[in-house]
Amino acid sequence: MTEALPALLVFIPFLAGVLQFVTDRRGIPLLPVVTTVITAALTGWLIADVAAHGPVEHFLGGWEPPLGIRLHADGLAVVMLLLTAITGTMVSVYALASHGRHVPGASHFWALWLLLWGSLNALFLSGDLFNIYVTLEMVSLAAIPLVLLAGAGKTTDATLRYLLYALFGSLVYLAGVALVYGIAGTLDLSLAADPLADSGFAGALAASCLVLGIMIKAAIVPFHVWLPAAHGGAPAAASALLSALVVKAAVYLLLRLWTDPLAGLASAPAGQFLGAVGAAAIVYGSVRAFLQERLKLVIAYSTIAQLGYMLLFFPMAVTLAWEGAVYHGLAHGIAKAALFLAAGNVIAYVGHDRLRELSGLDRPLAISLFAFALAGVSIMGLPPSGGFIAKWLLLRAAAETGQWWWLVVLTVGGLLSAAYMFRVLRFAFLRSAGATVDHQGPRPGPLRVWPTMALALLAIALGVTAAPILALLGGMP
Residue 195 found at the interface with other proteins (CB under 8 A): yes
Q: Which residues pair with 354 in a beta bridge?
A: 294
How many angstroms separate the CA atoms of 329 and 324, rounded?
A: 9
Q: Which residues contact 411 (CB under 8 A, 6 or more apart)?
A: none
Contact present, 56 and 16 (Cβ < 8 Å): no
CB of 149 to other proteins, least distance (A): 7
Cβ count near 331 (within 10 Å): 31
CB-nearer residue toward other proteins: 131 or 385: 131
Select the residue interacting with other proteins from 164, 268, 399, 471 (CB under 8 A): 164
Select the residue interacting with other proteins from 183, 250, 279, 371 (CB under 8 A): 183
How many angstroms separate the CA atoms of 334 and 328, rounded?
A: 10
Polymer length of the chain: 477
How many angstroms separate the CA atoms of 129 and 190, rounded?
A: 10
Region near other proteins per CB under 8 A, out of 10-18, 249-257, 302-310, 462-470:
10-18
CB-nearer residue toward other proteins: 7 or 318: 7
Angle in degrees, CA 31, 33, 39, rounded to 5: 95
What DSSP assignment string belongs to 21-68?
HHS-SSS--HHHHHHHHHHHHHHHHHHHHHHHH--EEEEGGGPPTTTS
CB of 202 to other proteins, least distance (A): 4
Total of residues contacting other proteins (CB under 8 A): 85
CB of 377 to other proteins, least distance (A): 32
What is the gyration radius of the CA atoms in the chain, in angstroms?
Answer: 21
CB of 287 to other proteins, least distance (A): 20
Residue 148 found at the interface with other proteins (CB under 8 A): yes
Select the residue interacting with other proteins from 2, 40, 103, 181 (CB under 8 A): 181
Select the residue interacting with other proteins from 27, 100, 185, 351 (CB under 8 A): 185
Contact present, 428 and 359 (Cβ < 8 Å): yes
Nearest to 209 by CA among 129, 285, 269: 129
CB-nearer residue toward other proteins: 135 or 286: 135
CB-nearer residue toward other proteins: 201 or 404: 201
How many angstroms separate the CA atoms of 272 and 277, rounded?
A: 9
Nearest to 299 by CA among 162, 458, 428, 200: 428
Residue 45 found at the interface with other proteins (CB under 8 A): no
Q: Which residues pair with 56 in a beta bridge?
A: 73
CB-nearer residue toward other proteins: 352 or 363: 352
How many angstroms separate the CA atoms of 389 and 330, rounded?
A: 11
Select the residue interacting with other proteins from 33, 134, 276, 412 (CB under 8 A): 134
Select the residue interacting with other proteins from 26, 102, 152, 434 (CB under 8 A): 152
Binding positions for other proteins, 196-215, rule CB under 8 A: 200-202, 205-206
Binding positions for other proteins, 221-250, rule CB under 8 A: 229, 233
Binding positions for other proteins, 73-132, rule CB under 8 A: 104-105, 108, 111-112, 115, 118-119, 122, 130-131
Binding positions for other proteins, 55-84, rule CB under 8 A: 58-63, 65-69
CB-nearer residue toward other proteins: 114 or 350: 114
CB of 285 to other proteins, least distance (A): 18
CB of 107 to other proteins, least distance (A): 10
CB-nearer residue toward other proteins: 62 or 442: 62
- Largest Cα span, the chain: 71
CB of 8 to other proteins, least distance (A): 8
423: phi then psi, degrees, rounded to nearest 5: -60, -45
